[in-house]
Structure 1
Amino acid sequence: MRSVRGALALLALVLAPPAGATDAGVKEAIPPRFEWPRLQVLEHVEASEIVEAEGVPVALRAVRVKENARVLVQRFADAFRDQGLYVAPGRKQAQLANNAAMLTAFDPLRAITYTVILQPQPDGTTSLYLGEANHALAKKVSAAGDFAPLPSQARDVLRVNSEGSRTLSFQTSLTGEQVQAFYDDALAKAGWKPADEPGLYTRPGGELRLTHEPGKTGQRAVVLLYVARAR
């Protein structure tokens, strides 16, 4: 199962409140905070953690549950609506590949985005990524502290920081060959050396992984993951 950090590239799509959410569902009395529906958890794939994505603290949890993904989509949608959250129409919800589904809701009173990513498994179980992004606690971010340079064609940049690792992801009009050439040159100048594994670079104190693949919009999706290592 993909790690929680790997799911951040997907959660990046929904860090901002859904369009129109700030004007929807506001009530005079503040209702109780949203509670995730109860599930038949078979395995806690990764422990809960707090990461920072574009200055927004995001609580993440990954589990494998007994329920079927098709049943769960409706259950989460009902839970969001029943507890007074704003849920964008289906056509505005992000669509994922590999049979995965993603559903997002927004609490306009607390400025919290709730996201669930559902990945069906061959045995009928479902892998879930649960995310809560608290926009009320957002901090301003700057490119000054980036661990790697960005090409001038980079768009929709997302910066994610967690304990021991940092992630840069973006979209670009560059081809795969151009992305690779840019980073082969830039990383070499910064003292990174290519490892035996494709896309992996190392230097004392850390390792950096570069992945890129074509996206549905004609842009190329690029992700750089930096992990600190003991010297």
Structure 2
Amino acid sequence: MRRAIRRAVLLLALGAVSPGWAQRANFTWEIPQTVSVVDVPGQVDANGVPVKLRAVRSKEKAQTILQSVVDRFISWGFVVPEAYKQPQLFREPMVTALDTRNFISYTAILQVNPDSTTTVFLGEANLGAAKAPKPAGLPLFPGASKVLTAETEGARTLSYTVSGKTSADVEAFYREQLLKAGYKEIQPRVFKSSSEEIALNLGVTREGPVAVRLVRRAALPDDGLSPGE
């Protein structure tokens, strides 16, 4: 669940910080057939925008939940862009709405689970409190677009997409760059220095570009053992 929430942070933030999106104070989510709720303590900093997150698991079908969320947005007077204007950054369906009075955006991302339940990742981005984002301190693959940095759970994340290249191209780029910088590859796509660890995750977006995510966190000093020993 933690990995899923961390990934949702990026998706929610990418949708939330798109130009012209925002929300309203005191709004409450109502997800039908809720089974459980996981609140992420504190807030996430995504490209300098404070984002509050929670994950809700429901027994309802994803399409029914999606329509319910849209209906609630509309009932609160939020601006809900037409479907073709909604950011669809990955395979999971997502919807974002805007309350122009408070400049805070709401985003919901739906993930269908193997047990036929649906996990709904919910985000509230306070665009009015945005600050200059902190640099990730990681190299970018040439031609990177939709660049996003986020900070949560003691980790700093860099996320973006690349068109016209393969996952192998991106992986080779980071292997070369990080090995030159003194990192060792301790596992496939996991690189470690004396003080930190960088994990590289690659995927393919709905539209085809390669989705790149690097997670950088502090690590214990190398004890000379191989992973798993």
Match of 1:14 in 2: 15
Match of 1:127 in 2: 119
SS of match in other structure, 2:64: helix
- How many percent identity over aligned positions? 40
CA spacing shift, 1:155–1:18, aligned 2, 3 Å? closer
For 1:140-159, list aligned pairs within 5 A.
Answer: 140-141=132-133, 145-159=135-149
Residue 88 in structure 1 maps to residue 81 in structure 2 = yes
Q: Deviations over 1:71-130 (max 9, x none)?
A: 2112111111111111111222234665x3211111111111100111223433211101
SS of match in other structure, 2:111: strand
Letter in 1 for 2:173: F
Q: Is contact 1:18–1:88 with CA below 8 Å preserved after alignment? A: no
Q: Is contact 1:65–1:127 with CA below 8 Å preserved after alignment? A: yes
In 1, Cα distance between the equivalents of 2:16 and 2:106? 9
Alignment counterpart, residue 211 of structure 2, candidates 201, 207, 221? 221
Q: Is contact 2:97–2:105 with CA below 8 Å preserved after alignment? A: yes
Match of 1:28 in 2: none
Q: Determine which structure has greater relative contact order: mean sequence separation of CA pairs < 8 Å that are 6+ residues apart, divided by chain length.
A: 2
TM-score, structure 2 normalization: 0.83
Alignment counterpart, residue 44 of structure 1, candidates 37, 47, 64? 37
CA spacing shift, 1:177–1:47, aligned 2, 3 Å? closer
Alignment counterpart, residue 34 of structure 1, candidates 18, 27, 30? 27
Dislocated runs of 4+, deviation >4 Å: none
Q: Is contact 2:199–2:215 with CA below 8 Å preserved after alignment? A: yes
What 5-or-longer segments of structure 1 have no aligned partner?
A: 26-30
Q: Is contact 1:80–1:105 with CA below 8 Å preserved after alignment? A: yes
